[in-house]
Every structure is written in structure tokens, then in C-alpha cells.
Structure 1
Amino acid sequence: MAYNEETSPQWKTTIIISTSLQNHDAVKTLRGQQHRIRFSDSVESGAFIFPLSGTAFLLADPDPSEESGLIEKLKKFVQVHRNSFLLLHAPFTGTKELETMSLIQHRFFGTNLRILPVQNNADIIKGMLTIAKATSKPHVDRIRDRMSLAQAHIIESSPVWEMLRDIL
């Protein structure tokens, strides 16, 4: 039977969240979806950590006057978390927001930081949960199995591979 997102039970996980986000709307939504929430003073301010998937998200608003502080915060975040994502919360309609995003992209190019622009709480939740779910067990195993099956199917049905087999 094929996996179907609509008929599968809702995915629930444990999330460690910075106490600075205790009253954030995203936390309320995650609680409403019955995820297990743990607050911690020891994680970076603005951080969401998904221990079962090994991913960490840092929620930040691009403020041009706070660029140097954000860069330092991101340096520390990238050093601590190997699968790190920046949730850049902004409308991305102004030149200042785009300049800030460009600066961050250039500064952290080649590191393990990925930037996810988000405009509202729905984007924050959807982005985090999609990435965390896709990188957690058993979902990552299921994705890996599907990729292997697709690769085998492509190899079996490829005319190029047939031609190579005939030559050898």
C-alpha cells in the first residue's frame, strides 16, 4: 500500500524551544498540534530544536541596525548545530530586507546554515515541520528506500544502460 500523507496519522515529535519564545504564536500552534514542547534557557534565544531529526531552527527578524549582532548569533548557532536553518521572518518587499538576506547568504555560504525566508507563522510551522519530518526516522528511511527504488527503476528501464550492457 502506498504512503498517503492525508490518511497517515499526524506526525508528532518533541521540540526543545528557547524560553524567549514561550508566548510566540508558533509555539501555540505547535502545542495545538500536540507536539511535545520542552522549554530551555540553555538554547540560543529564538531557537527551535528537533532532537529526533537533528535539526535546529533559529527565528530572526532582519533588523539592519542589529546586523552585526545577528551575524555573531548565527556564527555561534552554526558552530553548535550541524543541521541549522535560519527562519528569516520578513515581508521581503523592501530593499533593506533583501540586502540583509544577501549579506547573510554571502557570509554563511559554504557552511551548514540554510536560510528559509518566512512571512508568517504558518510558513514558520510548515517549514520547520516539513524539514524535521523529512529528516527524522522512520521518514528518512522511507524516503531513502523510495529513492533507491526510483534509481533502480531508472537504471532498469534506461535505453542508455541497455546499450552499455550490449556493448560490454
Structure 2
Amino acid sequence: MKHLPKHLRPRWRYLAVGLETWPDAEIDRRDFQRSIWFAAQNLLGDAGSADADLEVLQFDFGDATGEAIVRVRHGHVEEARAALACVDEIRNDPVGLRVRGKSGTVRACEEKYLGADGQIRDERKVVFGDAQRSAVERDGLLDVRTDGAFAGTTELDFE
């Protein structure tokens, strides 16, 4: 079967997405894809989500942060950004998503927006709520473990 001529092929845009969640969350590509489809369907409806055709091409997650490349049809970037903004949890783990940028090719998306984000993860003991607790430090922010959950804090909360 022959390929379609270039002017008849679908055109795509690629969104670089940053993920952040609590340190004990485990998220994989399949869960992320399912959450995006669910959010797009709820926001845009069946026809709108089919037109936008959101698909996760690359996914990397570890140490409570991650990044992904999401493919979207040309002309539906704003709808895709809105759908991504609706994702607030993945598999009952709260998550924050941030669209770092958009690009016309996967390679340009990787080079411009993805890569090392400079966050250094460190675990240490802190005094929080009149008790000594373990905390995970990332880029000046501390996630303190409290009774099976986490509390987001900064260095100023301990001085």
C-alpha cells in the first residue's frame, strides 16, 4: 500500500509535559495515557477527544517527577492543553501537570523542553509538628511524611 502524499497526511504537534507528585507515587505510561483520554473525553466529548487524538509518545517517571511527550493533531493544541489541565490524579495519586511547550517535531520537543530539570532528590530527618519525621527534598522543597501521607513544605517552615 502506498503512503499518502505529504499534503494529505495528518499534521501533528507535540506537547512537552512535566509531571510532579508525592514521592511514594508509582505512575506508568499506561496509567498516564488512560488519565489523559478520560480527561479529554470528559472535557471535549467523544467527537472532540477523537479529533484531538491525544497519544503519549514518550514517558519517563521516577523519584516523584517525570516528563512526557504527548502527540496532538494540528489545530487542537488548545483543547489538548485544557484536557491536560483537567488531570489532577493518576491511579488515586495526586499529580501536577505542566505543559512546558509545544513543537512541530518530536526531536525539537526533546531538545527544547525535555531533559534534566536540575532537581536533586535528598532524604533527611526534620522536626515537623513536634515530632522527628523523614522528608524528601527536591530543589528547595520538602515533602514531609505525616501519618501515611505527605505535607508539602519549604525550608522556611522549619526555622
* Higher helix proportion: 1
With normalisation by structure 1, the TM-score equals 0.30
* Higher strand proportion: 2
Q: Which structure has the larger Rg over C-alpha atoms?
A: 1
Report which structure shows greater RCO (CA 8 Å, sep ≥6).
2
